[in-house]
Amino acid sequence: ITSPVAFEILPLKLHPFSQSTPTGLDCVGWKRRISAPVITDGALDKTALTDDVGSEEDLYEEFRSSNHRYGHPGGGGEQLAINELISDGSVVYAEALWDHVTMDDQELGFKAGDVIEVMDATNKEWWWGRILDSEGWFPASFVRLRVNQDEPMEDYPLKVEGGKEDDSRCYGMGQTTKDQMRTNVINEIISTERDYIKHLKDICEGYIKQCRKRADMFTEEQLKIIFGNIEDIYRCQKKFVKALEKKFNKDHPHLSEVGSCFLEYQTEFQIYSEYCNNHPNACMELSRLTKVNKYVYFFEACRLLQKMIDISLDGFLLTPVQKICKYPLQLAELLKYTNPQHRDFKDVEAALNAMKNVARLINERKRRLENIDKIAQWQSSIEDWEGEDVLVRSSELIYSGELAKISHPQAKSQQRMFFLFDHQLVCCKKDLLRRDILYYKSRINMDDMEILDVEDGKDKDFNISVKNAFKLHCRDTEEVHLFCAKKPEQKQRWLKAFENERRQVQLDQETGFCITEVQKKQAMLNASKQHHAGKPKAVTRPYYDFLMRQKHPTLPTTLPQQQVFMLAEPKRKPSNFWQNISRLTPFRK
C-alpha cells in the first residue's frame, strides 16, 4: 500500500495549519489506474509546441480549458478509497516514520514506529488519528500506511502456553498469517517497482524527449544538469524489474524469492550516486529557468501531454532520490515476515545489508563532493602555492597538525603545519607575525611512502636523539623524511591517520569513486572568485532549501522539519573537515 498524500482532492475538513497544495511526497508510491500512451516523435510538434501554431502559454491554456481530464480518474484516487474504508467501519492503521513533537493540544504527538489509527484522511496534508485514548491532527507525510492492515497490534507470531510461537492461524488456502503478510509485502515491492518504471518512462519520454526537440530553449549541457543520468537509471530499473518478475510466484506470492535480485543489482544501483550528487544542481537550474514564463508553460504542457499527475517537474525528479533510500525499508519489512526456514531468508537478509551499504555509499560520495569546495577554498587561502591543485589527486582531508620536520644533511629541525589528504601530504609554514597565514613549502606523494615507527633515542640515519618520532620512507628513491610530534598521543594520532589514508585510497579504488574534471575546475573557479572578493563564501544548504520549497505541508514551528526528508537524504556522519582545520583559521587574511 502506497502513500496517498501525492493525490490532489478537494479538502473537506481543514486544519488551521493545512494548505491546499499537494505535498509531492513519496513520488514512488503514485498509482496509475489508466495507461498513459507513449507520445510519438511527431505528436508534440503537431500539438503546437512550435511557434507556428502558438506559444507554450497558449497551449497550456488550451489544455486547461479543454474537456479532457489528464491524470487519474476519481481525482482523489487511493485517498478517497481510504475514507471509504473508514466510512464502512474498517480500521486503517498507519505507522509513524518520524517523531511528531507538538505543543498544540489539537495535534497528535507520537514517536517513530508508533501505530496510529487513521480516522479521517479527507485532507491531503493533515489527517485525524488516534493512539490509545489520544486523538488529534498529524502530518500525513510523517506516516506511511501499514502494508499489512490485517496485522494485529501485538507482534507476530503469537505466544502460546509453554512460551512457543504459534504461527498456525490461516488465511485462504492453507496460508499462515505470516505468509499472508509476506504476500502483502511482495505485492507492494512488485507494484511499486512497476509504478516507478512508469514514472521514469514518463520523465524520459514526456520531458527529456520533448526538451531535445527545442534546441532553441535547451542545450545538451542544460539537460544533463536538469535530468542527470536518469536515462541510465531507467535502463537499469527496467532490467531489475524484469528480474523481479521472473522470481515472482503469481500463484503463491509468499514463496517468491526476490532477495537474490537485489544482491545481483547492488553494484548497478551505485549509479544513483551520480544522480543524487547532481540533484542539487538540477534544483538550482530548474529554479532559474522557471522564473521565465515560457519554461513554466512548456514544462506544464509536457506534463499534460504525458498525462502525468499534478506535480511540478522538480517534484518528479526527487523520486529517484527517495527510491534508492526506500529499498532498505521494504527489505526490512520483507525480512520481518520471512521465516528463517524460508529459502529466501538468507538472501533477503544479505540484500537488506547490501542496500543499506548502497545508501551509505551514496551519502558518503555526496559528502565527499561537498568537501571539494572547502578544499578549494583552503588552497586559495595558502600563500605562494606551487604545482598542481590539491584536487587533481585528492578529495578528502584525513588529518592535520603541527610537526617538527628533520632535514638532511645538517639534521635541522623546522616546525611546519602538515595537511594529510588522500594521496598526498602538504607542508606549510606559518607566518612569523600573522600565525593564521600559511605559506606553501612542499608536498609528499603518499602513494610511494611506507610509514616507519621510530623508537625514542638516537636515530642512526640522522645521527640525532629523537622522541615521539616516525619516518616516511620512499620505496623507489630510498628518500627518508623524519618527523617528531610534541606528545606521544599526537604521534599515535598521526600513525592512525596514515592508516586511514591508505584505507581511504583502497576504498576509492574498489568503489570507483572519482571527481570529474568539470567538478574540480568549478570548485577552483568558485574558490578563486571568493578569494578575490576578500571573504570566504558562507556554506549553504541548497539541497534542503530545494526540499523546503516542495509542496510539503506547513508544519508547526516546534517541529524539526529536516526529519521530513530523512528518506530523501538519510543521516550521515558529520564531516571532520572543519574540525580538523578550524583551529588553524587559514581563511582569515
CATH number at residue 412: 2.30.29.30
List residues bridging with 116 in a β-sheet: 94
The parent domain of residue 120 ranges over 75-145
Contact 406, 412 (CB under 8 A): yes
Q: What does the alpha-carbon distance between residue 414 and residue 431 come to, in Å, rounded to a whole number? A: 13
Q: pLDDT per position in the chain (589 positions), as tens? A: 333 333 332 333 333 333 322 333 333 333 332 333 333 333 333 333 333 334 444 544 444 444 333 333 333 445 666 777 777 778 888 888 777 777 677 889 888 778 899 988 888 788 899 998 889 999 887 888 876 565 554 443 333 344 444 444 444 444 568 888 899 999 999 999 999 999 999 999 999 999 999 999 999 999 999 999 999 999 999 999 999 999 999 889 999 999 999 999 998 998 998 898 888 888 889 999 999 999 999 999 999 999 998 888 988 998 898 888 889 988 999 999 999 999 999 999 999 999 998 888 888 888 888 888 899 999 999 999 999 999 999 999 999 999 999 877 677 889 999 999 999 999 999 988 887 899 999 999 999 999 999 999 988 888 888 999 999 999 888 888 999 999 999 999 999 999 999 999 998 888 778 787 878 888 888 888 776 655 443 333 444 344 344 433 333 434 333 333 334 444 444 555 555 555 544 444 4
Whether 194 and 277 share a structural domain: yes
Same domain assignment for residues 460 and 339 = no
Both 110 and 196 in one domain: the answer is no
Among the three residues 372, 403, 422, which one is the final residue of a domain in this structure?
372
Q: CA–CA separation, 291 vs 536, rounded Å?
A: 28
Report pTM.
Answer: 0.55
**What is the grid cell recorded at 287?**
529554479
CB 2 within 8 A of CB 26: yes
Residue 59 lies in a domain: no
Residue 22 lies in a domain: no
Q: How many CB atoms lie within 10 A of CB 526?
A: 16
Question: The domain spanning residue 118 has which CATH number?
Answer: 2.30.30.40
C-alpha cell of 342? 524460508
Contact at 8 Å (CB) between 505 and 396?
no
Please state, in angstroms and rounded to a whole number, the distance separating the CA atoms of residues 35 and 212: 24
d(CA 471, CA 453): 7
543 within domain boundaries: no
Question: How far apart are the C-alpha atoms of 302 and 289, rounded to whole Å?
Answer: 15
C-beta separation of 321 from 568 below 8 A: yes
- Residue 151 has a pLDDT of 54
Task: Give the Cα separation of 254 and 231 in Å (integer).
Answer: 32
Q: Which residue has the cell 503463491?
A: 252
Does residue 67 form part of some domain?
no
Residues 362 and 299 in one domain: yes
Q: 226 and 309: one domain?
A: yes
User: Does one domain contain both 283 and 311?
Assistant: yes
Q: Is residue 48 domain-resident?
A: no
315, 339, 372 - which closes a domain: 372
Kindly give the residue spans of alpha helices, DSSP state H, lying in 477-584: 488-511, 517-533, 542-549, 577-581
User: Would you call the peptide bond into 4 cis, given omega within 30 degrees of 0 as the criterion?
Assistant: no
Domain count, the chain: 3
Same domain, 130 and 203: no
Q: What is the residue-wise DSSP string for 52-114?
A: TT--HHHHHHHHHHSS---S-TTSSTHHHHHHHHHHTT--EEEEESS-B----TTB--B-TT-
User: Cell 610509514 belongs to which residue?
Assistant: 451
The residue among 372, 406, 428 that closes a domain is: 372
Q: What b-and-e string marks burial along 493-510, b requiring 16 or more CB atoms within 10 Å of the CB?
A: ebeebbeebbebbeebee
CATH of the domain at 196: 1.20.900.10
The C-alpha atoms of residue 302 and residue 361 are separated, in whole angstroms, by 34
On whether residue 316 sits in a domain, the answer given is yes
Residues 258 and 327 placed together within one structural domain of the fold: yes
d(CA 331, CA 67): 43
The reported pLDDT for the residue numbered 114 is: 83
Q: What are the residues whose beta carbons fall under 8 Å from the beta carbon of 193, sequence distance 6 or more?
A: 237, 240, 241, 244
Please report whether residue 420 resides in a domain. yes
Same domain for 340 and 210: yes
Task: Mark whether 318 and 185 lie in a shared domain.
Answer: yes
- Tell whether the torsion through CA atoms of 223, 224, 228 and 234 is positive or negative: positive
> Are 356 and 417 in the same domain?
no
- Asked if 216 and 344 sit in the same domain, the reply is yes
Which pairing describes strands 457-459 and 464-466: parallel, antiparallel, or unpaired? antiparallel
Q: What is the DSSP letter of 16?
A: T
Whether 571 is in a domain gets the answer: no
HSE-up (13 A, CA, CB side) for residue 333:
22
d(Cα 317, Cα 504) in Å, to the nearest integer? 32
pLDDT at residue 409, rounded to an integer:
67
Evaluate whether 457 touches 465 at the Cβ level (below 8 Å): yes
